[in-house]
Amino acid sequence: MKNILVLIFSLVLFSSCTRTMYNCAQTDSRETAINISIVDDEGNSLIGEDKNYKPADIKLTRGSQEIVLIFNEFGETTLIKLFYSEMESGKEYELKLNDQETAELNLKLETVVSECFDFLSVETFLLNGQEIQEDSDSNTYIIQK
**Are 125 and 85 contacting, i.e. CB atoms less than 8 angstroms apart?**
no
* Residues 87 and 127 grouped into a single domain: yes
**CA torsion through residues 21, 26, 27, 28, sign:** positive
* Residues 36 and 21 grouped into a single domain: no
* Residues 108 and 39 grouped into a single domain: yes
Domain that holds residue 94: 31-144
**Are 141 and 134 contacting, i.e. CB atoms less than 8 angstroms apart?**
yes
pLDDT digits (tens, 9 = 90+) for 24-56: 766 555 678 999 999 999 999 999 999 999 999
* Residues 9 and 75 grouped into a single domain: no
CB atoms within 10 A of CB 24: 13
* Residues 24 and 40 grouped into a single domain: no
pLDDT digits (tens, 9 = 90+) for 82-111: 999 999 999 999 999 999 999 999 999 999
Separation of alpha carbons 3 and 89, rounded Å: 54
Number of domains in the chain: 2
* Residues 47 and 69 grouped into a single domain: yes
